[in-house]
């Protein structure tokens, strides 16, 4: 989403770092490039004006002029101001003290509210909640059916008494096509079934109009939601500010959810909405899968934009995907000196795949913006091919790959839909990984040797100690030359014992022109 903006800012700071001292002209040139980058990213003009003004004021202050590295100080200022316009600190959802918590979703049609309802339900289920979805979008064709499908995939029940814009079939006792009545009945149903969270999906329009706002405000008044989340398409561009302001005035939303953050648009909406409306961004939808949903952290998003990475999010995803019991088993296996097998390798690959897209994970590492072309060319299907190859092997072949001869390779290639060359490449890479694990096992807890690095400095023997050279055979001429050199050194005289500066014993202190009374320290 922020690829272009990130590249522009990174290039600007690279030119800035080449300067030892920053003049006012250097700062103005940097601000000008930042302004152009933000405007090209569809950030609202008012936000750009406030942002660059704050950066210029702080960059010309004493905190930069007195800094040891002014360029790094300017980057720090830009990072802090980015965090500020993105909302500052992240805010969690506000839950009700008594009764079910009601969360109402509002936004334009096509922003992704229905899919986001399922993502939010799955996220809340992972936190121990029991959500229920309420289908109050009766206008868009198949909206109710889509919510049922999404709810089934998320494992959350859906309250949908009316089929919506599909024809007949309304439940008796409810006003046909009345979203306000359905929202109210859904809340009562949640209390009876003891669900602690109610997520109400409301209708949207292709544009902001009075009818949309009236319906949304009526639903709000009927169910008194604890959270009203405004779902906005991150690719909406400059219109994001006007749309956000209209919904802020119409329904008074309490938080923002950014959808389609994985798109290739310029992403100005994310940098505009929170600053203009004063409402925090709570969540971000980063893909089509229900698991592509994360809590929005302004500081982490600012780090991504400035190509500083997002290691904390990467660690959180790893903690969710990796099995701690399996990790302990592998650690014990390495400690016991047992070989790393292809079965172990398959388990590690499957857990790595559970973390999500490899491109997204690699993109969270610092400095990966400089390798964006390589990331774009990365083939996600490589993990599937490796898994197919290993699963086409017998248990004995996985435990001992050395038994895989030519005929076995041909059979594995045929069973996995790959080529013998790909089998050979995998076995070569695995052989290297297996050797690395053996070296780690031999190193022991002290880690005396790291794979591919040899001995670590200062480990195993006293750091800094000169190791004796191995004896080698000398010719008679070499022995004679060595003896003459040694005799010459003895004749010239070595340094005095205990003298750290190599002062000869026959030096006259008077010739050194020392200060009066200093000669007593020479021990003469």
Q: What is the CATH number of the domain that holds 40?
A: 1.20.120.140
Q: For residue 260, is it within any domain? A: yes
How does DSSP classify residue 493?
-
Least confident of 138-152, 196-210, 377-391, 471-485: 471-485
Q: For residue 51, is it within any domain? A: yes
The DSSP-derived string for 66-81 is TSSSHHHHHHHHHHHH
Structural domains counted in the chain: 3
Per-residue confidence (pLDDT) for residue 436, from 0 to 100 = 76
Burial (CB < 10 A; 0-12, 13-18, 19+), residue 449, is middle
Average the pLDDT over 307-333 and give the result.
67
Domain containing residue 197: CATH number: 3.40.50.300
Average the pLDDT over 390-394 and give the result.
90
Q: For residue 472, is it within any domain? A: no
Per-residue confidence (pLDDT) for residue 187, from 0 to 100 = 92
Nearby residues of 33 by Cβ (< 8 Å), 6 or more positions away = 8, 12
Instruction: Judge if 70 and 118 occupy the same domain.
Output: no
Range of the domain at 197: 101-306
Residue 110 to residue 342: CA distance in whole angstroms = 45
What is the SS3 assignment for 311?
Answer: helix
- Take residue 54 and report the two structure tokens written for it: 């704050």
Instruction: Judge if 12 and 56 occupy the same domain.
Output: yes
Per-residue confidence (pLDDT) for residue 120, from 0 to 100 = 94
Q: How many alpha carbons fall within 13 Å on the CB side of residue 84?
A: 13
Most confident of 229-238, 328-337, 444-453: 229-238
Contact 420, 432 (CB under 8 A): no
Single out the residue of 389, 396, 394 nearest to residue 428, CA to CA: 389
Q: How many alpha carbons fall within 13 Å on the CB side of residue 43?
A: 26
**Confidence class for position 45, pLDDT limits 50, 70, 90:** confident
Instruction: Judge if 199 and 122 occupy the same domain.
Output: yes
Each residue's pLDDT tens digit, 425-476: 888 888 887 777 777 666 654 443 334 333 333 334 443 444 444 445 677 7
Per-residue confidence (pLDDT) for residue 428, from 0 to 100 = 87
Instruction: Judge if 423 and 289 occupy the same domain.
Output: no
Q: Is the pLDDT of residue 64 over 90?
A: no
Per-residue confidence (pLDDT) for residue 367, from 0 to 100 = 63
Instruction: Judge if 278 and 362 occupy the same domain.
Output: no
- Take residue 24 and report the two structure tokens written for it: 């006012």
Give, in degrees to the nearest 5, the angle at Cα 203 between 201 and 205.
145
Instruction: Judge if 157 and 220 occupy the same domain.
Output: yes
More confident residue, 363 or 235: 235
Q: Quote the mean pLDDT of the chain.
A: 77
Q: For residue 271, is it within any domain? A: yes
Instruction: Judge if 205 and 348 occupy the same domain.
Output: no
Q: For residue 350, is it within any domain? A: yes
Per-residue confidence (pLDDT) for residue 264, from 0 to 100 = 59
Each residue's pLDDT tens digit, 139-191: 888 889 999 999 999 999 999 988 877 644 444 444 457 899 999 999 999 99
What is the SS3 assignment for 288?
Answer: coil
Q: For residue 465, is it within any domain? A: no
Instruction: Judge if 52 and 175 occupy the same domain.
Output: no
To the question of pTM greater than 0.75 for the whole model, the response is: no
Per-residue confidence (pLDDT) for residue 58, from 0 to 100 = 86
Nearby residues of 360 by Cβ (< 8 Å), 6 or more positions away = 262, 286, 287
Return the CA Rg of the chain. Answer: 34
Q: For residue 386, is it within any domain? A: yes
Instruction: Judge if 284 and 339 occupy the same domain.
Output: no
Phi-psi region of 230 (alpha: psi -120 to 50; beta: other; left: phi over 0): beta
Q: Is the pLDDT of residue 495 over 50?
A: no
Contact 223, 187 (CB under 8 A): yes
- Take residue 400 and report the two structure tokens written for it: 């001992």
Sole residue written with tokens 């030119």: 15
> 455 φ, ψ to 5°?
-70, 140
- Residue ending a domain, among 85, 113, 136, is 85
Instruction: Judge if 333 and 296 occupy the same domain.
Output: no
Residues in a beta bridge with 105: 201, 229
Per-residue confidence (pLDDT) for residue 100, from 0 to 100 = 92
- Residue ending a domain, among 39, 61, 85, is 85
Each residue's pLDDT tens digit, 408-425: 999 999 998 889 998 998
Instruction: Judge if 130 and 267 occupy the same domain.
Output: yes
Per-residue confidence (pLDDT) for residue 456, from 0 to 100 = 36
Domain containing residue 366: CATH number: 1.10.260.30
Q: For residue 147, is it within any domain? A: yes
- Take residue 137 and report the two structure tokens written for it: 């979008």
Instruction: Judge if 144 and 289 occupy the same domain.
Output: yes
């Amino acid at each position: 989403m922020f690829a272009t903006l990130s590249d522009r800012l990174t290039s600007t700071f690279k030119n800035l770092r080449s300067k030892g001292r920053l003049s006012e002209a250097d700062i103005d040139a940097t601000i000008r490039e930042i302004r152009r980058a933000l405007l090209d990213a569809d950030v609202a003009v008012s936000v750009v004006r406030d942002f660059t003004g704050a950066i210029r004021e702080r960059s010309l202050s004493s905190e930069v002029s007195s800094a040891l590295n002014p360029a790094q100080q300017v980057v720090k200022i830009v990072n802090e101001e980015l965090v500020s316009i993105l909302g500052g600190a992240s805010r969690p959802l506000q839950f009700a003290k008594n009764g079910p918590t009601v969360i109402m979703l509002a936004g334009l049609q096509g922003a992704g509210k229905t899919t986001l309802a399922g993502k939010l339900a799955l996220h809340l289920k992972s936190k121990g909640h029991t959500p229920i979805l309420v289908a109050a979008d009766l206008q868009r064709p198949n909206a109710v059916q889509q919510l049922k499908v999404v709810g089934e995939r998320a494992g959350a029940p859906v309250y949908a008494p009316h089929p919506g814009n599909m024809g007949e079939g309304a439940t008796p006792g409810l006003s046909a096509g009345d979203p306000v009545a359905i929202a109210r009945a859904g809340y009562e149903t949640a209390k009876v079934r003891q669900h602690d969270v109610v997520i109400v999906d409301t209708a949207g329009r292709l544009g902001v109009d009075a009818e949309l706002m009236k319906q949304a405000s009526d639903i709000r008044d009927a169910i008194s939601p604890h959270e009203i989340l405004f779902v906005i398409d991150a690719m909406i561009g400059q219109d994001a500010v006007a749309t956000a302001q209209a919904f802020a005035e119409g329904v008074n939303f309490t938080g923002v959810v950014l959808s389609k953050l994985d798109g290739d648009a310029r992403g100005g909406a994310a940098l505009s909405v929170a600053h203009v409306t004063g409402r925090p961004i709570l969540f971000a939808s980063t893909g089509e899968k229900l698991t592509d949903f994360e809590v929005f952290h302004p500081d982490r998003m600012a780090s991504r934009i400035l190509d500083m990475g997002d290691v904390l999010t990467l660690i959180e995803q790893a903690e969710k995907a990796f099995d701690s019991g399996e990790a302990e088993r592998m650690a014990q296996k390495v400690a016991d000196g047992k070989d790393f097998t292809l079965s172990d390798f398959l388990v590690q690959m499957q857990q790595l795949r559970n973390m999500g897209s490899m491109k997204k994970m690699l993109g969270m590492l610092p400095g990966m913006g400089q390798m964006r072309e390589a990331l774009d060319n990365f083939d996600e299907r490589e993990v599937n091919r490796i898994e197919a190859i290993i699963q086409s092997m017998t248990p004995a072949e996985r435990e001992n790959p050395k038994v895989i001869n030519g005929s076995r390779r041909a059979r594995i290639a045929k069973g996995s839909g790959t080529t013998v060359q790909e089998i050979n490449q995998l076995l070569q890479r695995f052989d290297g990984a297996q050797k690395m694990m053996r070296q780690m096992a031999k190193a022991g807890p002290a880690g005396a040797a790291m794979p591919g690095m040899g001995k670590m400095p200062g480990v195993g023997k006293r750091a800094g100690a000169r190791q004796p050279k191995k004896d080698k055979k000398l010719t008679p001429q070499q022995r004679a030359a060595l003896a003459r050199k040694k005799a010459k050194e003895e004749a010239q005289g070595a340094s005095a014992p205990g003298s750290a500066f190599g002062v000869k014993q026959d030096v006259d202190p008077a010739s050194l022109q020392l200060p009066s009374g200093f000669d007593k320290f020479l021990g003469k």
